[in-house]
Amino acid sequence: MSATGTATPRVTATRASGAQRTHKRLNHYRFAPLVLILVNVVLFAAFFAWPAIIGLVYSFTDYTGVGSFHFIGLSNYQQLFGDSAFYAALGRTVLFTLIVVPTSFVFSLLVANLMVSQYAKGKLVARIIFFVPWLISPIVSGVIWRWLFGENFGLVNFVIESLGGSAVPWQSNADLSLMVVVIAATWGGTAFSMLLFIAAIKNVPVSYYEAAALDGAGPWQLFRNITLPSIAPTSFIVILLTTLNAMKEYALFQSLNNGGPGTSNNLLVQYIYQTGFQQGQIGYASAASFVLMIILMAIAIIQLTVNRRTERRR
């Protein structure tokens, strides 16, 4: 009697305090993470979610940035898809991406392989040389390559002429001009992709190579049959990132050829910038932005699906 009398309140007491503690702890666990993410939640809402929403809304209006606006339905999109300048910019962007992505991929993978090769000498110094272009801004990269490929004053044409050739129109020919941008973009983008590739190659178990070497595989076969399949997920990331970056390239073109000659190398972002900010058609530029966003998302989704499928097959 007395035993139960003393026992019962103790049990309820512990139970109560236990419940209180779990309750308190849960509160804690909601409160602490909330405090920690608060800043980024606010920033996300203000500079990503809200602009995305008003961007979508404005794309159906004739907003010019000031004053009132009217909903005009799909006419921005109709105008956009009827604008030959838009198609020209889109086509040029796709062409640039299709050239720069494989070029950049090949060079960064090649450099990464050399950087992990035990036979290559002087890697420490070479690493710095490969890395410096990545530090340089697209604007300054553009200046560097413009200086090298100047039509009348550039070193490249000087060398070509000294060797008996005739000056190549690097600036006034639209396609050659695009090629120079491709070279500059590859030059600047190699280091970052290389870093990803180096990490991936170092993660491939050495025993794979040893086993294959025992079977008499040469360096090319080792690369083709072991390295390449093992780093497939990284290759996917690299291709995705370089594609997205190429699709939104702007600054490099600005300083290298100013989207020229004429308007022949205007890319999508430049088209958006010109219509939105130089001509003040915010609504129209929002529509163009939305099309670009849908293209970027489509690229990401397609690459994700392809990547999933190939991974499942293995």
Partner 1 sequence: MTASVADPRIDRAADARPTQPRADRSHRRGGKNGARQLGRAIAPTTLLWVLAFAYGFPLLWFVLSSFKPAGDLFSFPLSLLPKSWTVQGYIDAWNSFTFYEFFGNTFLVAIVTTILTVVASCCTGYALAKYDNLWLKIFFVCILATTMLPTEVMLAPTFLVVRDLGMYNSLAGIIVPSILTATGVLMFRAFFLTVPDELVEAARIDGARELSIFFRIMVPISRPIMLTLAIFSFQWRWNDYIWPLLVLNDPSKFTLQIGIQSIVGAQNINWSVLLGASVISIVPLVLLYLVFQKYVMNANINAGLKD
Integer Cα distance of 78 and 59 in angstroms: 11
Reading the block at residue 254, the tokens are 């600005």
Cα distances (angstroms) measured from residue 173 to each of 154, 158, 181, 262, 308: 15, 18, 12, 10, 41
- Is there binding between residue 54 and partner 1 (CB under 8 A)? yes
Calculate ∠ Cα 20-24-30, nearest 5°. 150
Q: Which residue in the set 60, 105, 170, 187 belongs to the binding site for partner 1 (CB under 8 A)?
A: 187
Nearer to partner 1 among residue 77 and residue 131 (C-beta): 131
Could you give the residue ranges of the DSSP H alpha helices within the chain?
A: 2-44, 50-58, 75-81, 84-116, 123-135, 138-148, 155-162, 174-202, 206-214, 219-222, 228-230, 232-247, 251-256, 268-273, 282-313
Q: Which residue in the set 88, 99, 148, 179 belongs to the binding site for partner 1 (CB under 8 A)?
A: 148
Q: Which residue in the set 7, 11, 49, 304 belongs to the binding site for partner 1 (CB under 8 A)?
A: 49
Q: How far is CA 20 from the centre of its chain?
A: 49
71: phi then psi, degrees, rounded to nearest 5: -75, 130
Integer Cα distance of 167 and 149 in angstroms: 10
Q: Which residue in the set 147, 262, 308, 310 belongs to the binding site for partner 1 (CB under 8 A)?
A: 147
Integer Cα distance of 288 and 272 in angstroms: 6
- Is there binding between residue 30 and partner 1 (CB under 8 A)? yes
Q: Which residue in the set 185, 269, 271, 274 belongs to the binding site for partner 1 (CB under 8 A)?
A: 269
Q: Which residue in the set 58, 60, 86, 105 belongs to the binding site for partner 1 (CB under 8 A)?
A: 58
Residue list 60-89, contact with partner 1 (CB under 8 A) = 65
Write each residue from 211 to 250 as x if it is in contact with partner 1 (CB under 8 A), else as -, in one continuous string. --xx-x----------------xx--x---x--x---x-x
- Please report how close the Cβ of residue 105 comes to partner 1 at its closest, in angstroms: 15
Write each residue from 108 to 127 as x if it is in contact with partner 1 (CB under 8 A), else as -, in one continuous string. --xx--xx-x-xxxxx-xxx
- Is there binding between residue 92 and partner 1 (CB under 8 A)? no
- Is there binding between residue 251 and partner 1 (CB under 8 A)? yes
61: phi then psi, degrees, rounded to nearest 5: -125, 175
- Is there binding between residue 129 and partner 1 (CB under 8 A)? yes
- Please report how close the Cβ of residue 166 comes to partner 1 at its closest, in angstroms: 15
- Is there binding between residue 293 and partner 1 (CB under 8 A)? yes
- Please report how close the Cβ of residue 5 comes to partner 1 at its closest, in angstroms: 33
Total of residues contacting partner 1 (CB under 8 A): 99
- Is there binding between residue 306 and partner 1 (CB under 8 A)? no
Selection from 192, 268, 205 nearest residue 237 by Cα: 192
- Is there binding between residue 262 and partner 1 (CB under 8 A)? no
